[in-house]
Amino acid sequence: MTDIFDFEPRIDEYAVMGNPIQHSKSPRIHMLFAEQTRQSIRYTAIQVDVGGFKQAVGNFAANKGKGLNITVPFKEEAWALVDTRSDRAERAGAVNTIKFLDNGQLYGDNTDGIGLVNDLKSHYQIEIKNKQVLLMGAGGAARGVLAPLLDEQPAAMVVVNRTPGKAKELAEHFAGLGNISGCGYEHLTAQRFDIVINATAASLHGELPALPDQLVSAEGCCYDMMYGQQTPFMQWAAQQGVKTIADGLGMLVEQAAESFYIWRNVRPDTRLVLDVLRKELAV
Ligand code: ATR
């Protein structure tokens, strides 16, 4: 005789926690992944008050939650909260993916950097190996992507920041992973880069750090980690005649896919999901 409980649908619970969270695309992305790969999951967005993060994660775990994405401003708190971390999360000092293990422990990873690398490689056919790479910004967003970028073995990685001391500190922190240095924008005049990545918060304010002409090689790539509109950095890249200009939507989808893989051990087809999102967002 078949046990009636065999027929109870089992839906695994996931969520993204942040503040603010109402405009998050993560629930949409993960539901598209779930539909595509026939995984039975629920994925919600949870707004968490500053000061209430640990409690919120505890509540989610108590309700049989299986995994969380963590976004601004809780990634560093998540790093401190988890029991074990991946190497890349360890180095980033930030966690954007938590997996609730069967033994009750919390495992933390950071999929932002691999999301950026995978987007560059698979959607834009940009290889980082042996390239001259410039990373603009030295805050959490920059720190989160540096280890996976250096793992790709660029010829040189320069971190440039409005406050040069922070760029130099970041370069020192990651010095063991490759040829990396830090400087201020005024030092960029004589250099030419193959890949320029904007990890500053400048685009959020409609601003652009002062960049010299001829900064990007003719066959180069400019990548803004922001998405949803043509940023001043992307407009500047177009004026400079840069061949490949990218927003951060692909990175968002790729980091989500890596989280999905960590939780479900299944890799979704990101291209299909990216196409759907671009149509929905009209970008
Ligand atoms: P995030 O976690 O998004 O990286 P953050 O830690 O506040 O946020 O870092 C923001 C980054 O954007 C910093 O590198 C900041 O430069 P400073 O360290 O000099 O503050 C950079 N940034 C913000 N607005 C900028 C602007 N208008 N021009 C240049 N850089 C800017």
Give yes or no for residue 277 CB within 6 A of ligand 1. Answer: no
Torsion of CA 93, 97, 101, 105, to 10 degrees: 30
Asked if 165 and 269 sit in the same domain, the reply is: no
- Report the nearest-CA residue for atom 31 of ligand 1: 202
pLDDT, tens digit, 9 for 90 and up, residues 157-202? 999 999 999 999 999 999 999 999 999 999 998 899 999 999 999 9
Asked whether residue 228 is domain-assigned, the answer is yes
Asked, for residue 2, whether it belongs to a domain, the answer is: no
User: How close are the terminal C-alpha atoms of the chain, in Å?
Assistant: 54
User: pLDDT above 90 covers what percent of the chain?
Assistant: 93
User: What average pLDDT does this structure show over 233-260?
Assistant: 97
Three state DSSP letters for 49-68: CCCCHHHHHHHHHHCCEEEE
CA 204–ligand 1 middle distance (angstroms): 10
Atom of ligand 1 at shortest range from CA of 138: 14
CATH code, 161: 3.40.50.720
pLDDT at 271 over 90: yes
Do 162 and 243 belong together in one domain? yes
Is residue 272 domain-shared with residue 184, that is, in the same domain? no
Q: Predicted confidence band at 3 (pLDDT cuts at 50, 70, 90)?
A: low
Q: What is the dihedral sign for C-alpha 107, 110, 115, 121?
A: negative
Judge if pTM exceeds 0.85. yes
191: in domain = yes
Is the Cα dihedral 150, 153, 159, 165 positive or negative?
Answer: positive
| pLDDT, tens only, 207-218 | 999 999 999 998
Residue 132 counted as domain residue: yes
> How many domains does the structure of the chain reveal?
2
pLDDT in tens, 125-142: 999 999 999 999 999 999
**Co-location of 131 and 236 in the same domain:** yes
Q: How much is the average pLDDT of 241-269?
A: 98
pLDDT tens digits along 84-105: 999 999 999 999 999 999 999 9
We report the CATH number of the domain holding residue 80 as 3.40.50.10860
The whole domain housing 159 covers 126-247
> Is residue 118, in this structure, part of any structural domain at all?
no
Whether 209 lines ligand 1, by a CB cut-off of 6 Å, is yes
Q: Is 202 in the pocket of ligand 1 (CB under 6 A)?
A: yes
Q: Is residue 176 part of a domain?
A: yes
CA angle 40, 87, 261 (to 5 degrees): 15
Note whether 144 and 243 are same-domain residues. Answer: yes
Q: Is 168 in the pocket of ligand 1 (CB under 6 A)?
A: no
The reply to whether 229 and 138 lie within a common domain is yes
